Amino acid sequence: MPHPKVKIADNSGNEVAVSNNRLAVETEQDDAFSTFVTYQAFEVPTSATAISADSPNGTGAEIGDSKEIIIQVDSANTGYVMVGHSAATCVANATVTNRKGLKLVGGETLVIAVGDFTKVFLAASASSQNVYVAYFK
């Protein structure tokens, strides 16, 4: 039994074009990223610190209008890095049941839709744990 033909219309009642059984989808350029910024690798302290902190333990940038922040843990790290939204939610040096945040090990990457560098905290399990940070705007 053939499928019945259905007409698709927008909220104004205008029929939407379908070509070769494909529905045309349009996006606005405003949604695209216009800027990609990267920072030099830095060592994450063992106590929770915002990524906006000054060198050598942060980017030194208080960005407040990013669309996404990318955090990549250096593949040479032997420990791990915890990621949280405040000092209280980012604890690395604790027993497994008392750790807080998201745990990243060497080579792992986290992409988060957070607009403010002061709201992303990192804490390392040991010294010499490095990360790379970038953002889209």
Domain boundaries, the chain: 29-136
b/e map of 57-91 (b: 16 or more CB within 10 Å)?
A: bbbebebeebeebbbbbbeebebbbbbbeeeeebb
Q: How many contiguous H segments (helices) and E segments (strands) does the chain have?
A: 0, 11
For 24-37, the pLDDT digits (tens) are 766 555 566 788 99
Q: What is the pLDDT of residues 65-123, one digit of tens each?
A: 999 999 999 999 999 999 999 999 888 887 888 889 999 999 999 999 999 999 999 99
pLDDT for res 1:
63
Q: What is the pLDDT of residue 14?
A: 83
pLDDT per residue over 68-83, tens digit each?
999 999 999 999 999 9
> Distance (Å, rounded) from C-alpha 112 to C-alpha 120?
9
- Residue whose tokens read 């604790």: 94
CATH number listed for the domain at residues 29-136: 2.60.120
Q: What is the average pLDDT score of the chain?
A: 88
